[in-house]
Amino acid sequence: GRFLITYYHELGHKNEAAKYGIDFKLGFSKFIQIDSKNIKIGGGLAVPRTKLDCEGYNKLNQNDKTVIVLKGITNDQKSIIVLLSVYLIINILLFILYLKYRSINLVGLSILINIILLILILFITMSTIDNLNYKNPISDISMALNNINLTC
């Protein structure tokens, strides 16, 4: 689930950059990083594919770079809305089924589905918070606020 969420986040950057004629490649890391303040599981990266793409990105004005950089967070928000909608619909359906059948198996199924969906929502929320952390020099918000040029 975490890598699917990361992929969708990074895909937002890639698709937005394509609107400016810049091709981004996606990269992922499979690691667990634990330090004194946070735990980060996995990570993603969307970077220009070629030197020409990198130079094209660096030539963009700050507004255009900001749009590209923040598109990942926009995708995170969409993911949260979709998962919360699914969460609500599934719980309503399970509640109706429980009222009709009074089955203990439905309670167990409901708990399992709720745990899975809540973990996914937690991962998206953690990722979004990490990308909004202005103290992290490679977070989306730092990239947007500081008009950072990439090294080609």
Q: Give the pLDDT of residue 90.
A: 87
**Tokens for 97?**
């089924």
Q: Give the pLDDT of residue 2.
A: 66
pTM over 0.75: no
Q: Give the pLDDT of residue 107.
A: 79
Q: Give the pLDDT of residue 60.
A: 93
H-run or E-run covering 47: strand 39-48
Q: Give the pLDDT of residue 126.
A: 79
How does DSSP assign 97-132, residue by residue?
A: HHHHH--HHHHHHHHHHHHHHHHHHHHHHHHHHHHT
pLDDT in tens, the chain (152 residues): 667 778 888 899 999 999 999 999 988 765 555 555 555 555 677 888 999 999 999 999 989 998 998 898 888 888 888 888 988 898 888 888 888 888 777 778 888 888 988 888 888 887 777 777 766 666 777 777 777 778 88
